[in-house]
Chains A and B, each alone.
Chain A
């Protein structure tokens, strides 16, 4: 049954529709693969019983003639999404034992579409990290390794578990969230397709908040088509989220026309970084060439405030996080460490419950919101954020989409950047602007580095124009013909 785990969502969908395959078979194969992949530490919680029950229910529905867009498809869920009755940790010690009595809107949408839950994926604590090293449940290993080098590599973060589950062939797709690149960067590091849709496209209700004005859920899959299918099932207006957009939900899969005619693709000069590896630059040039060859027009553009995006992000995101994480106080749920009085209980609980990166960001966020610093940091950052968004609005007057590398490097080894927060934060240099501007972006694998690691290209599009984003990504995917997969060295049998 191992080959079933090689199927993409769209292929499985067709086989299921023809009756050539049952959801139970498909789900069982993924449960086995997941169980054999524990060495990667991609899952915090595996839910095989739930998965089988959902698969059987799906097969029954199908037998009765009903089927949703993801009918019978087994998926992994980032442990930031609240799942009713199922442990939800956000990768943090402080949520010990937390079983939400509610289901996030996004996952509820997926189950409504017929999908099957395999379990909850590991992640950087509260989605703060770019390497998955900050999880209380231990780091996730990237399924990929460099040629001739057995050192374990990071899968990227914060959605490293989700990307690994999809790359490692034990989930057909996975939910993820992206606050500054947490979908696209791990997708790039693991050779998968990861999309962060427009802010407001997917409901944030029931997703543990990191930075509310930046957080956005999206799918990680192994193909652009699968990504479009899965996003369609996740997205939609939700009156329970005031920032959810009440806009029509297009058929994203139908946007994959394969037609490049009339497309104008912007290439921003500010994304050429000093010291960027030559292979990244080369990959970008290949992408440009593919699109031009397909018939698109390539236009040099400028996004002048790009260089301020990262510092702006590292003020706005921690500021919001410092407030969002105040509710983890030991009073109502999760970890509580006793103290002699209320303040001491808070201090003990939060010191024990939060890891160093979360503590760092809570401190930064508290600082930038403090009296006397607010104007210089938070308010200034908000102004710059508006300028960055304006940069994009200006260029989207003349281009349909923007092409950039997803990350400034391929996956790196554990410990390489763990001691240097700034080097770590630089991972997000190409992904952060889309979060600040609320724009949709997708990373897809477009080639291998010299030492055999996947590299991603990123497509950015105007707000609520995921259709153009998918259309361009589809063209690149076809031209890149990326068929590499990690050897399954980790599988235990």
Chain B
């Protein structure tokens, strides 16, 4: 049995504590109109074998030509991962036979990748953050897809994905818990989405992860790892790590040893099992692809790309905290997606950033989620939300009324001011009107007045409620408070 110790992240086995060591290989599809070495399109969900060039189909005499956009995207991603960019890198062939690998080899980068070591900071639930090392990022082609379940004896092959550009981002074995692994994948995804180099869509397969898991006694050398493939969501990844950790500890505690092998995650059962090997002997016979020259570019090329980088989430978060005075939590939530940050910044433009942050994260998100919409297709624009906040700021409406106005805005798409005017929601700040209402309430509730004067301050709230009810919530709450106190004390 394994149990998790909260203090040091060790897992308690029957014979003592174990440390889990996790490394991740994230495969991120490069956002690009065309494939890595051919002009074929890359749209998701197209008819099978409709996006296949002669190169992708491995026809005789066909040659790969590098897609420069993919190179730029890889460099951009490397910069976003704070990594070393290699101005000289080499494409290699990884040789193996499979029906969905038309050339009989995958073009990848083996010894000399385009991006070297880097580091990213991941944020954990308890507010801590950790640095996770990046080992490398390299460009490679995707294979096609084999479909085994359409025919009792035959396999169908769809080559639409064959040749699609992937970035394989390899982490250092720096993670110790499933939570850290999840936070790492989310952070990589966020960074790539900020950069526009990968859409990070795990459902459509444009981001997948292979998970390397091993266990060891604290302080000892790294154990033998198993590589788990076919993990296509953060939740599955965390399940796979939990299962694999338990499996390995059980084997080791029973006196066995771990095989270095590739295992497949089964989402149905939440378990992993050894993968049938693609070739009997696993020797990929890597060698430099003689159809392609080494990939070389200048420092100026890198600098040109660097100048187009957006503000990345870490810098943004820091700025939200330092310049806008937001809390860590608020800043973290707002930078989690580039679109959210952009929306927030638009709302905060010329307004109190804290109030903007509260509205975006609070009522706005609640209404968005109720409407089952994304921020990208929100029925209420950032400017509209800003307009609503302005009405509170200039005392046209109260914050309470504003919440109702936002609901109407989501329903009708109208501006806040129009709704306020149409429904006559403008706040009443005429002291004569408010005083008249107060006098009426005091007149009919002498017992409550006595309670207040006898020291029961809480009764004030009851009076406020009565006034608000009488004014249909439109009375300026501060004025109500102020005037009530004056009248009640008298």
Contact = CB atoms under 8 A, between A and B. Distances in A.
B102 A332 contact: yes
B57 A332 contact: yes
A242 B66 contact: yes
Contacts of B58: 327, 332
B104 interface: yes
A326 B97 CA distance: 7
A102 B54 contact: yes
B95 A323 contact: yes
B287 A242 contact: no
Given A327-B102, A327-B104, A369-B95, A241 B63 contact: yes
A326 B103 contact: yes
Nearest to B291: A212
A342 B278 CA distance: 11
Interface residues of B, number: 31
Contacts of B104: 323, 325-327, 329
Contact of B60 (A90, A213, A329, A371): A90
Contacts of B66: 242
B256 to A, nearest CB: 27
B292 interface: yes
Given A323-B104, A323-B105, A323-B287, A100 B59 contact: yes
A88 B60 CA distance: 10
A10 interface: no
Contacts, number: 100
B435 to A, nearest CB: 84
Interface string A81-107: 110000010100001001011101000
Interface string B170-190: 000000000000000000000
A376 B198 CA distance: 40
B93 interface: yes
Interface string A226-255: 000000000000011111000000000000
Taking each of B59, B61, B65, B291, which has the highest tally of chain A beta carbons within 10 Å of its own beta carbon? B61
B151 interface: no
A320 interface: yes
Contact of B293 (A102, A242, A329, A371): A242
Contact of A207 (B61, B95, B292): B61
Q: What is the predominant secondary structure among interface residues of chain B facing chain A?
A: loop
Contacts of A81: 61
Nearest to A342: B99
Given A206-B61, A242-B63, A346-B97, 13 more contacts: A82-B61, A90-B60, A100-B60, A102-B54, A204-B63, A209-B291, A241-B63, A322-B285, A323-B287, A327-B60, A333-B60, A370-B285, A374-B285
19 contacts: A95-B60, A98-B60, A205-B62, A205-B63, A208-B60, A209-B61, A242-B291, A320-B290, A323-B105, A323-B287, A326-B97, A327-B102, A327-B104, A329-B104, A332-B58, A343-B280, A369-B95, A369-B286, A374-B287
The 10 A-B residue pairs with the shortest CB-CB distance, nearest first, are A326-B104, A213-B290, A212-B290, A369-B285, A327-B58, A206-B61, A208-B60, A82-B61, A371-B283, A327-B104
Interface of B: 54, 57-66, 93, 95, 97-99, 102-105, 155, 157, 280, 283, 285-287, 290-293
Interface of A: 81-82, 88, 90, 95, 98, 100-102, 104, 204-209, 211-213, 239-243, 319-320, 322-323, 325-327, 329, 331-333, 342-343, 346, 366, 369-371, 374, 378
